Amino acid sequence: MNTLNHVAIIMDGNGRWAKKNSLPRSAGHYKGVEVLRNITIYANRLGIKALTVYAFSTENWKRSAEEVNYIMSLPKIFFSSYIKELMDNNVKINIIGDRERIPAETMKVINDAIEETSRNTGLVLSFAFNYGSRDEIVRACKKYAQDYKEGKVEDLDEESFKSYLYTNDLPEVDLLIRTAGELRVSNFLLYQIAYSEFVVTDTLWPDFTNETLDYCIEQYQGRKRSFGGRDETKNN
C-alpha cells in the first residue's frame, strides 16, 4: 500500500456540466460546492490528512465579471451551509493563494472559517483561491531575498525553500486528481507535484462521487512509486 496523506484536486468541468444540463454556468459552480462538501467528509472518513482543492486560479480573473463575482460568493454559500458539519467532522480550513485581490467580504467569511476551525485536528481542507503556482514561486523567491538581505537566513536548499511556499505546513502531495479530462496542470502546485501520482478522470466535477474518489485511490494504489530509485528485490 502506498501511504496517502495528501490529495490535491483540480476541480474542473463545472461549466460543461451546466451546459450538459442546460443550466447557467453558476449552477455548475453551485453543484460543485455541494460535491466538495461530500468529498471533504468522505476523505476525512478515509483518514486522508490533507485535501487541497483548486477553486480559483490567478488566471480565472479573465472570465466574465458575472462569473467571477459568483465564484467570489461561493465561500459564503459553502461555509454558511456547512460550517457546523465541518466542525462536527473535525475539519480544519486553510487557504493558499494571494489574498490581496480577493474581495474583503469574501476574505472575511474565509478568515472566520479558518479561525473557527483552527483547533480542529482532522483533515485540513485547503482552498487554492486566487492561487497560481508561478506567482507562488516568484513570491517565495522575493521573500527569501528579503530575509537574506536582513540576515535572517543563510543558504537556501530544497527543504528551506518549501517553507516559503503557501503549502509550508502541508505534507507532500501524494495524489493529484484532475476531473473533466484535461491533460494539463493549469498552474497548480508546480513545485509540490514533482513526485505526485496523477489520475485524470473524465467525470465532470459536479458529477464526482465517493465512488469516483474510490476509483482514483484504486488507481493510485496500483502505482509503483520509486522516486527515482530502484527496487533491488525485483529485477526492474
Residue 57 within binding range of Mg ion, rule CB under 5 A: no
Given the residues 5, 14, 21, 60, the one annotated as active site:
60
Helix/strand/coil for 190: coil
Q: How far is the CB of 55 from ligand IPE (least distance, A)?
A: 6
Instruction: Give contact residues for ligand IPE (rule: CB under 6 A).
Output: 10-16, 54-57, 60, 71, 180, 182, 184, 186
Residue 197 within binding range of Mg ion, rule CB under 5 A: no
Cβ atoms of 44 and 89 within 8 Å: the answer is yes
Q: How far is the CB of 123 from ligand IPE (least distance, A)?
A: 20
Residue 186 touches which of Mg ion, ligand IPE, none (CB < 5 to 8 A by kind)? Answer: ligand IPE
Q: Reply yes or no on whether 12 is catalytic.
A: yes
Nearest to Mg ion of 74, 165 (CB atom): 74
Q: How far apart are CA 175 and CA 207, in angstroms?
A: 20
Burial class of residue 218 in the structure, from the number of CB atoms within 10 Å of its CB (0-12 exposed, 13-18 middle, 19+ buried)? exposed
Q: Reply yes or no on whether 157 is catalytic.
A: no
> To which residue does cell 516568484 refer?
138
Nearest to ligand IPE of 7, 122 (CB atom): 7
Cβ atoms of 208 and 7 within 8 Å: the answer is no
Largest CA distance in the chain: 59
Catalogue the E-assigned strands of the chain.
6-10, 50-57, 92-96, 124-131, 175-178, 197-200
Residue 7 touches which of ligand IPE, Mg ion, none (CB < 5 to 8 A by kind)? Answer: none
Binding mask 11-30 for Mg ion (x = CB under 5 A): -x------------------
C-alpha grid cell, residue 61: 480573473
Q: How far apart are CA 25 and CA 213, in angstroms?
A: 24
Nearest to ligand IPE of 102, 122 (CB atom): 102
Nearest to ligand IPE of 30, 122 (CB atom): 30
Residue 207 within binding range of Mg ion, rule CB under 5 A: no
**Interface residues with Mg ion (CB under 5 A)?**
12
